[in-house]
């Protein structure tokens, strides 16, 4: 196996631990993957293994057709969902599927999370939509997720959980954290009154500025 894939396996193993420690999943549920672009490969967490015991050798390497290339473990039962996202979105380099409490509550209610705080507008690019229900691990679920996700970076899975995507494992993880926080804010704000939602113009500007200016390796200018 080449060095890029081996490094990706290490990164995915660490991301799984990070996801569990952040309380975004319970037990062995949820899954994480990243793309190895130069090789047209995907590395993904194994099915049903505790994150705190994962080793890089447990991470499974597959082709974009879903064929196992390296690894002795069974890949996540949501492999097809990950593969379909990578095929549809060439910009996506990492996918994280979580079962966090507040985002899952919105998924059970089958209600989108509106862009009511700036960070969700910045990193998601608008409201977090809800994909139509289909059984976990099914091809229909993969289809529904890709259709609902569109060009945004997060989607709720009806009666299930959520998926966050990004240009890196760190960004996918941040997306999942921000969506969880936004879901919690939305539910709490509803107790105080009707939550105010950012306008489409405000969302577009916030998302553009995030993509263009946020972080150390993007264009200059006074941006937070």
- Any idea what the Cα angle at residue 137 is, between residues 133 and 142, rounded to 5°? 60
Q: Report how far residue 122's alpha carbon sits from residue 45's, in angstroms, rounded to the nearest whole number.
A: 28
Q: How many helices (H) and strands (E) does the chain have?
A: 7, 8
The catalytic position among 10, 39, 78, 205 is 78
- Sequence-distant (≥ 6) Cβ neighbours of residue 201 within 8 angstroms: none
Q: Report how far residue 141's alpha carbon sits from residue 57's, in angstroms, rounded to the nearest whole number.
A: 28
Q: Report how far residue 91's alpha carbon sits from residue 73's, in angstroms, rounded to the nearest whole number.
A: 28
Q: Report how far residue 61's alpha carbon sits from residue 49's, in angstroms, rounded to the nearest whole number.
A: 16
Q: Is 25 helix (H, G, I), strand (E, B) or coil?
A: coil
Q: Is 132 a residue of the active site?
A: no
Q: Report how far residue 22's alpha carbon sits from residue 178's, in angstroms, rounded to the nearest whole number.
A: 12
Mind telling me the catalytic residues?
Answer: 78
């Amino acid at each position: 196996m080449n060095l890029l894939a081996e490094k990706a396996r290490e990164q995915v193993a660490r991301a799984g631990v990070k996801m569990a420690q952040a309380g975004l999943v319970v037990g062995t549920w949820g899954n994480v993957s990243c793309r190895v672009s130069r090789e047209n490969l995907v590395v993904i967490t194994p099915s049903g293994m505790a994150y705190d015991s994962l080793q890089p050798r447990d991470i499974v390497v597959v082709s974009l057709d879903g064929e196992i290339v390296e690894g002795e473990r069974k890949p996540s039962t949501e492999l097809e969902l990950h593969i379909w996202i990578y095929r549809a979105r060439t910009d996506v380099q990492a996918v994280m599927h979580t079962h966090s409490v507040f985002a899952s509550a919105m998924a059970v209610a089958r209600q989108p999370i509106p862009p009511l705080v700036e960070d969700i507008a910045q990193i998601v690019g608008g409201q977090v939509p809800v994909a139509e229900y289909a059984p976990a691990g099914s091809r229909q679920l993969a289809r529904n997720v890709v259709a609902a996700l569109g060009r945004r970076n997060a989607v709720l899975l009806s009666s299930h959980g959520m998926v966050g995507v990004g240009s890196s494992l760190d960004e996918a993880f941040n997306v999942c954290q921000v969506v969880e926080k936004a879901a919690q804010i939305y539910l709490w704000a509803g107790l105080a009154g009707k939550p105010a939602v950012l306008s489409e113009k405000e969302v577009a500007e916030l998302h553009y500025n995030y993509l263009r200016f946020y972080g150390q390796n993007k264009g200059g200018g006074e941006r937070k």
